[in-house]
Amino acid sequence: MAKTQNQPLEFERPLLELEAKLEEMRALRGDEPSADLNEAIGKLESRFHELRQSIYKNLTRWQRVQIARHPMRPYSLDHISAWTDGFQELHGDRLFGDDPAMVAGLTTFKGGRYGYKDRTVAIVGQQKGRDTKMRKYRRFGMSNPEGYRKALRVMRMAAKFGKPVICLLDTPGAFPGLEAEERGQAEAIARNLFEMARLPVPIVVVVIGEGASGGALGIGVGDRILMMENAWYSVISPESCSSILWRSWDYKEEAARGLKLTAPDLQPLGIIDDIIAEPLGGAHHDPESAFSATGKAVAKALAELDGIAPDVLLEQRLQKFDAMGVFESVDTPEEDVVSGS
């Protein structure tokens, strides 16, 4: 049985308490085995399993947000080193500088092990840091304009050499700084949306953690949008939504619920294509199986996109995003109405 990892989340505490009790009883049994103790341990074990299932199978949206932000969750570079080989990171946007909050490069996707094939791909991804120093260096995964422009430079290079692009989304948003605004944060994101809509090679997008707002979407236009089971993706973070709509920071759980920001919410809306199942409790409980599920999903997406002519691919990409939106036409009786085709 996998031990509940360190750095538990608030809602995992009851599990941890039960686990500690179990450990204690097992230690006791080691000293003086008895049938009574065996029975008690057996009961507690089954209670532990039941609780584990009931917590992890009924995660609330806010709990999923917490899992997506877990400090031990696999980040872009972890995925890259798990299911690709020989990653050559490429730095800089050739205009201003390099952005450590965005990584980009060329690598060999190890598709062969997932029944596809090994092949060169370009990868761009938002990157968070693991400890205090690295978190600051990676700017908490919040890109500046040069990050988006670096990603675009590498994606264009992929198009030049006919290589597919894989985008890994994991950001709490674009960096809201003075200099980011001066250098055109909005223009950088807008340019990527435009250019990605016409990039003539397959693009597979995977939301691996947090997908917040235009900052995430800035590398999020593609032919297949995959999302890990406990990732979240929306127009705004639950905290900021709470602050703006409720004028208080205290409604983040309600905001998370209202925004319908989880993978199971977004699939029926046509915003994502596939959900990548995670190990019980989240990817950080068993990173290896999370990596293999992700690699497999990427392989499947790439295989589906193989051999589609670029103009067909781009038309399908346009239609995919054109279909996103829910609205109705109402008749306005006082107007002369001509029906649409």
Partner 1 sequence: MAWFRRTKAGINTELNDQIDVPKGHWIKCKECASTVNRRELQRNLLVCSECGYHFPMSGMEYYRLLFDDAEFEVFDTNLVSQDPLEFTDRKPYPKRLAEAHRKTGLTDAATGAMGKIGGHPTSITAMDFKFIGGSMGSVVGEVISRAIKRAYTQETPLVIITQSGGARMMEGALSLMQLAKTSAHLTRLHDKGLPLIVVLANPTTGGVTASYAMLGDIHLAEPGALIGFAGPRVIRETMGQDLPEGFQRSEFLKEKGFVDQIVSRAEMKSRISQLLDLLLEPAAG
Q: Which of 187, 250, 288, 306 binds partner 1 (CB under 8 A)?
A: 187
x/- track of binding to partner 1 for residues 162-181 (CB under 8 A): ------------xxxxx-xx
The dihedral through the CA atoms of 320, 321, 326, 331 has a sign that is: negative
By CB under 8 A, is residue 326 in contact with partner 1?
A: yes
- Check residue 246 and report its DSSP letter: I
With contacts defined by CB under 8 A, name the span among 9-17, 48-56, 126-134, 328-336 that binds partner 1. Answer: 328-336
Give the torsion through C-alpha atoms of 182, 188, 191, 195, to 10 deg. 160
> Angle 185-196/145-160 helices, nearest 10 degrees?
20
With contacts defined by CB under 8 A, name the span among 11-19, 90-98, 258-266, 273-281 that binds partner 1. Answer: 258-266
Question: Which is closer to partner 1, CB of 31 or CB of 331?
Answer: 331
Q: Which of 84, 143, 144, 185 binds partner 1 (CB under 8 A)?
A: 185
7 CB-contact burial (10 Å; exposed 0-12 / middle 13-18 / buried 19+):
exposed
By CB under 8 A, is residue 331 in contact with partner 1?
A: yes
What SS3 class is residue 103?
A: strand
By CB under 8 A, is residue 15 in contact with partner 1?
A: no
The first and second tokens of residue 191, run together, are 């340019």
Question: Which is closer to partner 1, CB of 139 or CB of 153?
Answer: 139
Closest CA to 171 of 122, 241, 220, 106: 220
Whether the Cβ atoms of residue 242 and residue 255 lie closer than 8 Å to each other: yes
By CB under 8 A, is residue 330 in contact with partner 1?
A: yes
x/- track of binding to partner 1 for residues 189-218 (CB under 8 A): xxx-xx--xx--------------xx--xx
Q: DSSP for 30-89? A: HHS--HHHHHHHHHHHHHHHHHHHHHHTT--HHHHHHHHT-TTS--HHHHHHHHEEEEEE
Rounded CA separation 282/260 (Å): 19
**Count of positions on this chain that bind partner 1 (CB under 8 A):** 64
Question: Which is closer to partner 1, CB of 91 or CB of 260?
Answer: 260
The amino acid sitting at 277 is A
Whether the Cβ atoms of residue 101 and residue 144 lie closer than 8 Å to each other: yes
By CB under 8 A, is residue 82 in contact with partner 1?
A: no
What SS3 class is residue 121?
A: strand
- Min. distance of Cβ 154 from partner 1 in angstroms? 19
Q: Which of 2, 42, 47, 246 binds partner 1 (CB under 8 A)?
A: 246
By CB under 8 A, is residue 271 in contact with partner 1?
A: yes
Question: Which is closer to partner 1, CB of 90 or CB of 190?
Answer: 190
With contacts defined by CB under 8 A, name the span among 33-41, 43-51, 77-85, 324-332 that binds partner 1. Answer: 324-332
Whether the Cβ atoms of residue 133 and residue 100 lie closer than 8 Å to each other: no
* Binding site residues, partner 1, CB under 8 A: 174-178, 180-187, 189-191, 193-194, 197-198, 213-214, 217-218, 220-221, 233-236, 241, 244-246, 251, 254-255, 258-261, 266, 269, 271, 317-318, 321-322, 324-332, 335-341
